[in-house]
Structure 1
């Protein structure tokens, strides 16, 4: 896909996310990794609903600005997830309401921020890690992401929002949306003793759809495909 098409794709998905209230104001950012190791990334203080393709930041493989506006301050976050997830070609970071709310609850397991509620949550987002709060743009968040050793494609930043990697921008957007809807379900059902997917049902999904779930890493005989 040409540079022009990639820029247009970022703008199209950004506007879709913004118009549905998934990232208000100038919050959130999107990046795509290029074949030469560089990136396209949304600029700092830019609303995802009103992006200009020509002003999207282009960075070289070393993270230096080549063209476009000054990039988002969340570059360390994106960089660390690309480094640890070799298959990642795009990353979406939002401030979506329900996902942010989830990060503030005391019972959340950092290794599995959400239980296995629906098949599409596992199929799109996999399992989700929760990392502690860091000031936006703090380079220390990169170490927290690297500490996950690439096991998670979806991560929640405490009191901040989701960061999701995909093998395409479409996949990253769909996974982010699925994560937000699952967080909403969790909040709706909290303390109501809902019925989650059983371990056997999770194993069946993982086997059928070749899901590489961190919780199954030590499961004897599990084939990650």
Structure 2
């Protein structure tokens, strides 16, 4: 199973970068197998991640591999402990989602635009800002994800969960699509308001 988990992490890490869901050193994916967590190593880049760049830790956060886990390992551990039904986590930094989380932080959630998003996500709440890699970020995000499968993190990115990494990844795509559609609709409405003002 350890080889399968690493192969999955490499595949979906490359796909996340290819589809614009993260850039540079940002983002990390993880897979849980019994008491082991497979996660991108610190300093690794998702675009060219290899199996050697996958770290292994246990549910207490102890490093079991030759490479150190991402600084966001606390976030992944907190979610796995809070949600025993979750088998994989995607934490990514897609552009529209970050913009939406910043603009909608006070509202507390991203409006659902499509029937697909409503079916698979129900709601996309926004977790308040906490410093990246901190225990505070891990706890507040895990709290919000207690009843949902996706969350926007204010000024940071998104987290989605699933029984498999495939499921978590495609939920992340769905969140970014929702954020992009919302932003396009918002921009269109703003344009219409300006036109109406010019005509009056």
- Scaled by the length of structure 1, the TM-score of the pair is 0.79
**Alignment RMSD, CA only?**
1.7
- Does residue 126 (structure 1) correspond to residue 125 (structure 2)? The answer is no
CA shift, 1:81, in A, is: 1.4
Equivalent residue for 2:39?
41
User: How many Å separate the matches in 1 of 2:145 and 2:132?
Assistant: 21
The structure in which a higher percent of residues are strand is 2
CA shift, 1:173, in A, is: 0.2
- Does residue 75 (structure 1) correspond to residue 51 (structure 2)? The answer is no
Flag the 1:122–1:89 CA change in 2: closer, same or farther, 3 A.
same
Q: Where does structure 1 lack aligned partners over 5 or more consecutive residues?
A: 194-225
Give secondary structure in 2 for the equivalent of 1:147.
helix
Q: Deviations over 1:109-145 (max 9, x none)?
A: 32xx222311111233331121111111111112212
User: How many Å separate the matches in 1 of 2:100 and 2:118?
Assistant: 17
CA shift, 1:96, in A, is: 0.5
Moved over 6 A (4+): none
Equivalent residue for 1:200?
none
User: How many Å separate the matches in 2 of 1:173 and 1:14?
Assistant: 9
The structure in which a higher percent of residues are helix is 2
Equivalent residue for 1:148?
144
The number of residue pairs the alignment matches comes to: 189
CA shift, 1:147, in A, is: 3.1
User: How many Å separate the matches in 1 of 2:156 and 2:105?
Assistant: 17
Q: Where does structure 2 lack aligned partners over 5 or more consecutive residues?
A: 190-200
